[in-house]
Amino acid sequence: MRDFPSCFGENGVQVADSSSSSSSGATKAAQNLVACVYQCKLHGRLVLINVTWTKNLMGQGLCVAVDDSTNQCLCKVEIKPWLFSKRKGSKNLEVDSSRVDIYWDLSGARFGSGPEPVEGYYLAVAYNQEMVLLLGDLKKEAYRKINAAPINSNPIFIAKREHIFGKKFYGAKAQFCDKGLTHDITIECDTIDVKDPCLVIRIDSKTVMQVKRLKWKFRGNHTILVDGLPVEVFWDVHNWLFGNAMGNAVFMFQTCLSAEKFWACQSAFDPSVLTWSYSQRFKDNQLQGLGFSLLLSAWKNE
């Protein structure tokens, strides 16, 4: 089974269980990474556009890849960190005798603590001179540069995966529904010299989930409500408790259109094996219209 997204290549990360973790592997995997997946239409054809932002000692990196509905990579553009001085440019590709243009302008981009820009940029994907995806706040500048027809079918933000770092507290932001509020997620778990660790998850500083006796409940799932919608939370903190000291924990927040529809597909999920290959099943759920997935890899700082 191919990983999700399939085109990440060396930017993809395999989350191994504790038996196969190693210090070197954990260090390599723990790069600062945010990957976003958008479902778009290319002349009625559903595709997934994967945008991966990375950051390391060499600088900022960017990868844009287009998958078809069978998870096959159609095209890919990668700007490696050591070449990121080219903060403005374009790439023309051919897919099935059609033209795909990828444009980016990050020359004035401003970044927060993570690798994803927060303002002062645009990233655009056009198909046969029709815009299919446009990210960033410089949309007018993008249209002036690209001279493409406006988007006629809004892309859907279906999934995000992110590496987060901390010692006791881990934070992330998420928008669980289209045009909904952006929420602050805080994960609290102290496993250092604690006999009975406890896992606490807060949304906008409000405690929505607490797991005691974590050594017995290091994997599991629980339903919370965000914006009045059910959100299923899956966790796997085995590596924190029993694995390599540099290992990561994995958390997934999955929204759905209805609780009944979501529970009907639970048989496809095995919380004891949270690997990127299982993310393919998350993708399948998304293609069935089951909402938004946020996958967090939480790494402990040294």
* Tens-digit pLDDT profile for residues 184-230: 999 999 887 788 899 999 999 999 999 999 999 999 999 999 988 89
Query: Are 38 and 157 spatial neighbours (Cβ–Cβ below 8 Å)?
Result: yes
Query: Are 40 and 153 spatial neighbours (Cβ–Cβ below 8 Å)?
Result: yes
Q: Of 109-113, 186-190, 289-293, which range is least confident?
A: 289-293
φ/ψ of residue 287, rounded to 5: -65, -20
Q: Give me the pLDDT at residue 300, please.
A: 87
- Per-residue pLDDT band at 106 (split at 50, 70, 90): very high
Sketch the domain layout of the chain as residue ranges.
31-154, 163-300
- Residue 31: pLDDT over 90: no
Q: Do strands 98-105 and 88-95 pair parallel, antiparallel, or not at all (unpaired)?
A: antiparallel
- Per-residue pLDDT band at 25 (split at 50, 70, 90): very low
Q: Give me the pLDDT at residue 245, please.
A: 61
Dist CA 3 CA 283 (whole Å): 10
Dist CA 55 CA 81 (whole Å): 7
Share of the chain above pLDDT 90, in %: 45
Residue with tokens 């500048």: 141
Dist CA 111 CA 103 (whole Å): 19
Query: Are 103 and 145 spatial neighbours (Cβ–Cβ below 8 Å)?
Result: yes
Query: Are 106 and 116 spatial neighbours (Cβ–Cβ below 8 Å)?
Result: no
CA 4 and chain centroid, separation: 10
Count how many Cα atoms sit within 13 Å of the Cα of residue 190 in the half-sphere of its side chain: 4
Dist CA 135 CA 63 (whole Å): 14
Q: Give me the pLDDT at residue 71, please.
A: 77
Q: What is the pTM of this model?
A: 0.79
Higher-pLDDT residue of 134 and 149 is: 134
Characterize 83-96 residue by residue with b for buried, 16 or more Cβ atoms within 10 angstroms of its Cβ, and e for exposed: ebeeeeeeeeeeee
Mean pLDDT confidence for 102-114: 91
- Residue 27: pLDDT over 80: no
What are the distances in angstroms from CA 101 to CA 65, 104, 143, 145, 227? 12, 10, 13, 12, 37
Write out pLDDT tens, residues 234-281: 999 999 998 766 679 999 999 865 434 443 443 333 433 343 333 444
